[in-house]
């Protein structure tokens, strides 16, 4: 008869605490809780979170899945609404100084965020303003972007950020502009290889190691930034504009967006530093132009369209989890 020891070469161990790290298929007996346990693979999935207080699209977000800020966007007009998320519910915070949508965003938490550029409702329509949020109030900074634009990718932190792509005047001209921010001023950096708006970005916590992907067209193009130049790398599997993005230069997540107007998708892809892989599980609500934040294993998608929604979804990546073995 086949036994656990015969398969694995050792017997089930009795331990006082669950081991770490775990290997899928590992079995042990926890003698403190008097239970046999199994390390099993938990599939990646999206789950419902708390709804935004203000339904909107082309909004911005920054932070983590449990400490995020969503701001700006479009309802029936550009809005200045700002909300923080604690992993369960959204709470209204003081509004931005300027009502705008399609703002770039960067920040590590809900109390340390900058809003970059955007589109406003009065001429010249494109703003180059930068606003900073400290958890209590928004402040318009003296630092302005060199080129006002909207729907650009925002990457990095409140004091070390990168803005790339978007739309710029005249009209809605797809932009290849790239600029970096050092906490005091914006500096032009080398341009993207492919000009596009409605572009997503990923580079949590750093302005010198990032990727941008998707965009108007719709596009599947992906570009990697090393602090001095942009390099075209392997494309998304699904061309899309207005996608959400989360993660880092080497571990990123792309979700939602539009494959054409008005066709929104919920499909999710994972980036491993070399190529994109489609995940079997997509957003429950197909949408684009949402606010996004977080990492490849713990991300947030809030708002979007169509129709204009307040829905929030939380992403949990695949992981090895502990399961108690029972007789049932």
Same domain, 88 and 38: no
Helices (H), the chain: 4-8
Q: Over the range 219-248, which residues count as b (16 or more CB within 10 Å of their CB) and which as e?
A: bbbbbbbeeeebeebeebebbbbbbbbbbb
Percentage with pLDDT > 70 across the chain: 94
Distance from C-alpha of 204 to C-alpha of 84, rounded to nearest angstrom: 18
Can you tell me the mean pLDDT for 139-143?
Answer: 97
> What are residue 202's DSSP bridge partners?
211
Among 200, 192, 196, 187, CA closest to 271: 200
- For residue 241, tell me if it sits in a domain: yes
Distance from C-alpha of 60 to C-alpha of 73, rounded to nearest angstrom: 7
DSSP strand pairing (312-316 vs 252-255): unpaired
Q: What's the total number of domains in the chain?
A: 2
Distance from C-alpha of 313 to C-alpha of 326, rounded to nearest angstrom: 32
- For residue 130, tell me if it sits in a domain: yes
Can you tell me the mean pLDDT for 323-327?
Answer: 77
Q: Which residue has the higher pLDDT, 18 or 194?
A: 194
- For residue 321, tell me if it sits in a domain: no
Same domain, 32 and 50: no
Q: Which residue range is the domain that position 35 belongs to?
A: 4-42
Q: What is the CATH number of the domain that holds 54?
A: 2.120.10.80
Same domain, 252 and 186: yes
Same domain, 120 and 170: yes
- For residue 325, tell me if it sits in a domain: no
Q: Could you tell me the pLDDT band of residue 178, with boundaries at 50, 70 and 90?
A: very high
- For residue 31, tell me if it sits in a domain: yes
Can you tell me the mean pLDDT for 45-59?
Answer: 97
Distance from C-alpha of 295 to C-alpha of 95, rounded to nearest angstrom: 26
Can you tell me the mean pLDDT for 196-214?
Answer: 93
CA distances from 153 to 6, 23, 178, 292, 327 (A): 54, 37, 9, 11, 51
Instruction: Enumerate residues 6+ apart whose C-beta is below 8 A from 134.
Output: 111, 112
Of 16-20, 192-196, 297-301, minimum mean pLDDT range: 16-20
Span 239-284, pLDDT tens digits? 999 999 999 999 999 999 999 999 999 999 999 999 999 999 999 9
Can you tell me the mean pLDDT for 195-206?
Answer: 91
- For residue 328, tell me if it sits in a domain: no
Among 188, 193, 155, CA closest to 174: 193
Instruction: Inform me whether the pLDDT recorded for 230 exceeds 70.
Output: yes
Q: Is the alpha carbon torsion for 131, 132, 135, 136 positive or negative?
A: negative
The pLDDT value recorded for residue 75 is: 97
Determine the 3-state secondary structure of 303 from DSSP.
coil
Among 11, 36, 100, 73, CA closest to 322: 36
Structural contact between residues 137 and 94, judged by C-beta atoms closer than 8 angstroms:
yes
Same domain, 159 and 36: no
Can you tell me the mean pLDDT for 153-169?
Answer: 97
**Helix (H) and strand (E) counts in the chain:** 1, 32
For the chain, give the mean pLDDT: 93
């Amino acid at each position: 008869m086949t036994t656990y020891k015969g398969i694995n070469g050792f017997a089930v161990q009795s331990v006082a605490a669950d081991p770490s790290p775990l290997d899928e298929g590992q079995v042990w007996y926890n003698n403190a809780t008097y239970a046999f346990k199994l390390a099993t693979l938990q599939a990646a999935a999206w789950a419902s979170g708390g709804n935004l207080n203000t339904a909107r699209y082309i909004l911005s977000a920054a932070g983590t899945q449990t400490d995020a800020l969503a701001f700006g966007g479009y309802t029936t007009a550009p809005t200045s609404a700002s909300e923080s998320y604690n992993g369960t519910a959204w709470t209204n915070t003081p509004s931005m100084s300027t009502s705008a949508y399609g703002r770039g965003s960067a920040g590590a938490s809900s109390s340390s965020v900058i809003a970059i550029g955007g589109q406003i409702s009065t001429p010249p329509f494109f703003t180059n303003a930068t606003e900073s949020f400290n958890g209590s109030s928004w402040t318009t900074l003296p630092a302005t972007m060199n080129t006002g634009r909207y729907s650009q990718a925002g990457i990095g932190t409140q004091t070390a950020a990168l803005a790339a792509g978007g739309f710029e005047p005249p009209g809605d001209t797809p932009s290849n502009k790239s600029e970096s921010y050092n906490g005091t001023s914006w500096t032009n950096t080398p341009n993207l290889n492919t000009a596009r708006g409605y572009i997503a970005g990923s580079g949590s916590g750093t302005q010198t190691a990032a990727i941008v992907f998707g965009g108007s067209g719709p596009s599947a193009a992906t570009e990697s930034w090393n602090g001095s130049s942009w390099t075209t790398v392997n494309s998304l599997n699904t061309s899309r504009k207005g996608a959400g993005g989360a993660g880092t230069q080497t571990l990123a997540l792309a979700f939602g967006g539009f494959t054409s107007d008005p066709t929104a998708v919920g499909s999710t892809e994972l980036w491993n530093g070399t190529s994109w892989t489609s995940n079997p599980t997509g957003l429950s609500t197909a949408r684009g132009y949402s606010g996004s934040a977080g990492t490849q294993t713990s991300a947030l998608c809030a708002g979007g369209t169509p129709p204009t929604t307040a829905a929030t979804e939380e992403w949990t990546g695949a992981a090895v989890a502990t399961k108690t073995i029972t007789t049932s």
